[in-house]
A and B are shown apart, each in its own frame.
Chain A
Amino acid sequence: MNATTTTSTRPRLPTKLLLLAAALIAAVGFLVWTGTQGATVYYHTVGEVRGMGSEAYYRLIRVNGIVADGSIQSATDSNLISFDLQDDSGRLPVEYRGTPPDLFGYSSEDRYQEVIVEGQLEPSGAFRARSLIVKHGPEFEPREIPAQ
């Protein structure tokens, strides 16, 4: 045995690092794959909810879609709002009781409004939303100053 003071020893870990890299790559691949598998989704599409049939009834789910043009109706004597949620695969009538977000119902000629509703589908076919969330995309535009 021999102990001397020289430079420090350095641990080595080559094969193990390859192992680690392989595991991480596999993990990332898997996460991307599950992202397309529908098991982990944050929201469903209108078509998916329609496809679930009676399975979807009385289950807390989130549905994403576009507010159909001109479909928003608000009751005058209560805070009930109803509108149609629409995407490529169909329409879903939604009822929401409460104060909507400020940006809900913001209309413009070239832009449709995307929302997520969280609630339950009833056998009548209406979706009773307990929360209404306005989705906003990654696009930003300057506000045009109206000409005086």
Chain B
Amino acid sequence: MVRLGQRNVLRGLSLALAPGERLAVVGPNGAGKTTLIRALAGLIRPRRGHVSLRGSRGPDEPAARAGLGFLGHRPSLYPHLSARENLAFAARLHGTTDAARIEAALEVVGLAADANRLVRDYSRGMQQRLGLALALLPEPDVVLLDEPDASLDAAGVDDLPVMIDALAPRAAVLFSTHDERVAEALGARVVRLAAGRLTEDPREAPAPKPPPLQALPLPRPPGFARAVRAMIAKDARVEWRAREQVPTLLMFTLLAAVVFDMAFIAALGSEVAAVAVGVLWISVLLAATLAGTRLFTTEFERGTLDGLLVAPVDPSGIYLAKFALLAIETAFVGVAQLIFLSLLLNVSLFQASTIGAVLLAAAAISAILALQSSLVVNARAREMLMPLLAIPPAVPVLLAGVGITLGALEVTPAGQQGAWFGLLAVVAVVFLTLGTVLYPQAARA
């Protein structure tokens, strides 16, 4: 039973698929096709019932997803990466770097000529072809396709069997469609789904008895650290192309420094150092909250979070990659603010201890915010909610950061820095651990 919201979308449903078999799930809109495929891919936890891949483990286990090809109702593509880069990223998530296979996949789906164009310039049909290439890329033995014929032209629909035969010839393929001709073209057994219940097509021969379940060998999953590095590199490249965060955040911090300098200059006597410290930490916290809100939201809105969750990587890797990205951005902004404030307010904020404090505080704040960000993806008005969630646990970070910088500026006696640095490290370690343990729990609806 799969329940979405208040409704049970799927009920009392049992399906078995033999190796190499093709099965079409046909049904009208709202029948539960997408929900079924998402449950099979492990993106939704069934209330009751279970899914097992290759007769052994469920799709919630990273290793079991190693040979799983998946195309959702929206292909998991990054608009600011080229087709080739999208495929290369997916390949790295699956633990391969086989360039020849990427080229072969591009060739088979007919995108070889457009491989270096950014996906945001692709038509909807081209995106669908690329999504198919993505699903068939990791030499899958199980392929799940949600309406593979969506937005494809007639030639594209005709090409579907060719693509699958060429890239995943021995895979068990389950796909949904509302067009029975697609099922026929792929030579698939048809089952019907209506209002969450399954009916075998009476015209078809009775379903072949599923072979006795046996555990098939799993493809080798990618190394965890390698997958995390791939995700960080991908995010860095997307940011480099899209320039959505860092330049704006830099302007924000500069603006904060300028406005405070402008407004307070008359009032500032001996308190200039204290004001500089206040501006520094408030702008670091706000910049991190702004960027942090977008960490998971961007992936969620572009539909690419599914791609990350279906990859054979423990979801804690996604948390760690997002943490690293935010920590780098926050540290960058914080160090820039040290320079801005040193220049504008003429205080000696640019020192080894303050830089160290900003770097460590960036890590601690990011460890908190990366977890919070993953919790608000389904929330309304996330940007309103995030500061409320993020600031209370960030209070120790703020206290320690202020303590270190006030000491460095000799507003308060120095010499207590060690304990403050320790506090920053403790917050970072505790929240990194909490995030690593708890994010996988929050990842699947």
Task: Classify A-B as touching or not with yes or no (CB < 8 A).
Answer: yes
Q: Are B46 and A8 in contact (CB under 8 A)?
A: yes
- What's the minimum C-beta distance from A127 to chain B, rounded to whole angstroms? 17
Q: Are A5 and B419 in contact (CB under 8 A)?
A: no
State A8–B13 Cα separation when bound (angstroms).
Answer: 14
Given the interface pairs A34-B423, A39-B420, the reply to whether A9 lies near B58 with Cβ below 8 Å is yes
Q: Are A2 and B17 in contact (CB under 8 A)?
A: yes
Q: Which residues of A contact B51 (CB under 8 A)?
A: 1-3
Interface residues of A in 20-58 (CB under 8 A from B): 20, 22-24, 26-27, 30-31, 33-34, 37-40, 52, 55
A145: interface (CB < 8 Å): no
Q: Which of the four size classes fits the interface of chain A?
A: 20 to 34
Instruction: Give the interface centre of B54, B413, B418, B426 by most chain A CB atoms within 10 Å.
Output: B426
Q: Which residues of A contact B436 (CB under 8 A)?
A: 16, 19
Q: Which residues of A contact B46 (CB under 8 A)?
A: 8
- What's the minimum C-beta distance from B10 to chain A, rounded to whole angstroms? 10
Q: Are B437 and A3 in contact (CB under 8 A)?
A: no
Q: Are A24 and B49 in contact (CB under 8 A)?
A: no
- What's the minimum C-beta distance from A94 to chain B, rounded to whole angstroms? 21
Q: Are B48 and A5 in contact (CB under 8 A)?
A: yes
- What's the minimum C-beta distance from A8 to chain B, rounded to whole angstroms? 6
A148: interface (CB < 8 Å): no
A124: interface (CB < 8 Å): no
- What's the minimum C-beta distance from A59 to chain B, rounded to whole angstroms? 7
Q: Which residues of B contact A (CB under 8 A)?
A: 1, 12-17, 39-40, 45-55, 58, 60, 142, 172, 174, 210, 213, 316, 399, 403, 412-413, 416, 418-420, 422-423, 426, 429-430, 432-434, 436-437, 440-441
Knowing that A1-B15, A1-B142, A19-B437 touch, tell me 16 more A-B residue pairs with CB under 8 angstroms: A1-B16, A1-B17, A2-B52, A2-B55, A4-B50, A5-B13, A6-B48, A6-B49, A6-B50, A8-B46, A9-B60, A11-B60, A13-B440, A23-B430, A23-B434, A37-B416
Q: List 16 A-B contacts (CB under 8 A).
A: A1-B51, A1-B54, A1-B142, A1-B174, A2-B15, A3-B13, A8-B49, A9-B50, A11-B440, A23-B432, A24-B433, A26-B426, A26-B429, A30-B423, A39-B416, A40-B419
Q: Which residues of A contact B (CB under 8 A)?
A: 1-9, 11, 13, 16-17, 19-20, 22-24, 26-27, 30-31, 33-34, 37-40, 52, 55, 59
